[in-house]
Structure 1
Amino acid sequence: MNKFSHVFAVCAYKESPYLADCLQALKDQSAPAQILIATSTPNAYINKMAEKFEVPVFVSGRESGIGRDWNFALSCAEADFVTIAHQDDIYLRDYLQSIEEYNRLAKDPILFFTDYGELRNQKEVYDNRLLQVKRKINAFLKPRIFWHSRFMRNRTLSVGNAICCPSVCIHKSKFPDFRFDETMTCDLDWDAWSRLAKEKGSFVYIPRPLMLHRIHEGSETTNQLEEGKRFAEDLEMFRRYWPRPLAKMIMKKYATSTDSNKISG
């Protein structure tokens, strides 16, 4: 069996106070981790963190943007599998080891994704309404027999995006030309999974919380919700799966779930 080849590509933006925690968590993985930093906003702080944790920094020559930054991070990683790590988030100790273990079980994996918790006001949260809903949706992909089912993964994606983006490990060598849609600002991850769901291979769900997604006032998710950017793209995504009237009905119900991303939630 070939050696499992994986890179954590950390997207660093400006001067996040949480970057050190993210890098430390990656260094503390129970399996040896290869790590890089990718940024479109180079600065002394990022260089200092890179030096402290002994990881290379790759600088994009393009203007900052979520899709552009993710695509750049993906392009920097020379490995079969890539996790685009978000600078504010924490990866639990067994994240990488679990990906390796499930890779041995999976048939032709497209991507892996895990259950997750949240970090709110420095507290770990593993149970709230949003997490409960996502686990119920993802439960349909929990049985190994359904990993390879295009029908099942498309049905789960048709009712919303229950896949936590920073938990995803993409099989880059299987899709070397894969790119996130840079015209989207909110649902580019949902769009990506929707496109990959049509491909032959496995969507592998690991039903263990293996990372913590930080919810805070400066997070891009929170900003998107407050500015109302997400809703037009949500409707566009639902219309891929449902007739317009039904898409609007599902959209209204789906919109209430985003309340869990508010700081006071």
Structure 2
Amino acid sequence: MKEINAVHTFVICAYKESTYLEECINSLNKQVSVQNKKSIIVAYTSTPNAYIENICKKYNIPLFIGTGGGIGADWNSALAVVGTKYATIAHQDDIYNSDYGEKIITSFENQKDLNIVFSDYYEVDETTNVRKRNLNLKIKTFGLKLLSLYKNKNYQRRIYAFGNFICCPAVSYNMTRLKDFKFNEQLRMAVDWDAWERIMKYPGKIEYIPSRMMAHRIHEDSETTNNTLDKNREKEEYLMFRKYWGERMTKLLMKVYVNNQKGNI
């Protein structure tokens, strides 16, 4: 699986029969880092089927199969198959700009104490048309800029207390520094927010690349949309805010957050 020059793995989390999976794979095959053999592509699924297997065979992508158990379990299992220093969990519905892998690797190699590196992002719809940047995205970009102003961890955690500004498919991991890290398998929606909050407590740093290097797809069958509609997102985000704030401030922040969730439907 691991090529001699590869330092980074795109591990695609494939689920059921996504019509967007092949588009995601095509964006990864166009990566400069893949063409230069610095990155490799593998896939992981806990819902094996002929559709996923045939697409992986078509593009000669190694497919790993696990037992599942939710988003956190799938992400943990996906990272477990990685044999390189760095990894990106590529979401099957999303698209990565051709320079994503190269810039991520450069950031890690230039600063050895980085635990995660992440970029800004944009949104596309079901037909891959770029969505207008709504207030939610503008707030997140502003939050990321504030987060990156100072490398002080206490400062970064206080900024992060105002919301989850980091887009999970835009994140890459330093596997050598996060050997013992696990996603919380009890969470469904705030699993990424909880993860970044805990990683910020690890020795080492986080790095934000202020470029929109990947496209996050918003569509009616996405996990984000489903968890927003069934109120699970609201429940878990409330619990995350309570890690930082008292009841009154949490309720105030939740009013803003619930309103912003409409942008994901």
Q: Which residue of 2 aligns with 1:27?
A: 29
Q: CA–CA distance in 2 between the matches of 1:63 and 1:121?
A: 26
Aligned to 2:203: 200
Taking the aligned partners of 2:115 and 2:136, their CA distance within structure 1 comes to 25
Mapping 1:61-76, distance limit 5 Å = 62-76=67-81
Give unpaired runs (5+ residues) of structure 2. none
Alignment of 1:83-162 (within 5 A): 83-122=88-127, 123-125=129-131, 127-143=133-149, 146=150, 148-162=151-165
How many aligned residue pairs are there?
A: 256
The one-letter amino acid of 1:30's match is V
Q: Within 2, Cα distance between the matches of 1:241 and 1:106?
A: 29
CA RMSD of aligned residues (A): 1.4
Matching residue of 2:19: 17
Give the corresponding residue for 1:38.
44
Shift of 1:254: 1.8
Letter in 2 for 1:259: K
| Post-superposition offset of 1:126 | 5.9
Amino acid at match of 1:67: G
- The aligned residue for residue 211 of structure 1 is 214
User: Structure 1: which 5+ runs fail to align?
Assistant: none
CA drift at 1:41: 0.7
- Which letter maps to 2:27? A
Name the residue aligned to 2:65.
59
- After superposing the two structures, state which structure 1 stretch, 70-79 or 105-114, moved more: 105-114
Whole-angstrom distance in 2 between the partners of 1:153 and 1:126: 28
| In structure 1, distance between residues paired with 2:152 and 2:112 | 11
The runs of 4+ residues in structure 1 deviating greater than 3 Å are none
Cα distance between partner residues in 1 of 2:126 and 2:26: 19
TM (normalized to structure 2)? 0.93
The equivalent residue for 1:191 is: 194
Q: Give the residue type in structure 1 aligned to 2:104.
A: I
Q: In structure 1, the residue corresponding to 2:33 is in which secondary structure?
A: coil
Specify the code of the residue in structure 1 equivalent to 2:211: R
- 1:20-40 superposed Cα distances (whole Å, 9 cap, x missing partner): 000111011011230111000
**Which one of the candidate residues 42, 54, 60 is aligned to 1:48?**
54
Identity value in percent: 39
In the TM superposition, what whole-angstrom CA distance separates every residue of 1:181-210 from its partner, at most 9, and x where no partner exists? 000111000000010111221110001011
Q: In the alignment, residue 7 of structure 1 is paired with which amino acid?
A: T
Distance 1:173 1:45 in 2: 33
Matches within 5 A, 1:171-182: 171-182=174-185
Amino acid at match of 2:9: V
Deviation, 1:259, is 1.1
Cα distance in 2, alignment partners of residues 37 and 126 from structure 1: 31
Q: 2-side partners of 1:198 and 1:49: how far apart? A: 39
Verify: 1:245 aligned to 2:248, yes or no: yes
Task: Note the C-alpha offset of 1:141.
Answer: 3.1
Seen in structure 2, the aligned counterparts of structure 1 residues 4 and 248 have a Cα distance that, compared at 3 Å, is farther
Q: Distance in 2 between matches of 1:115 and 1:206?
A: 7
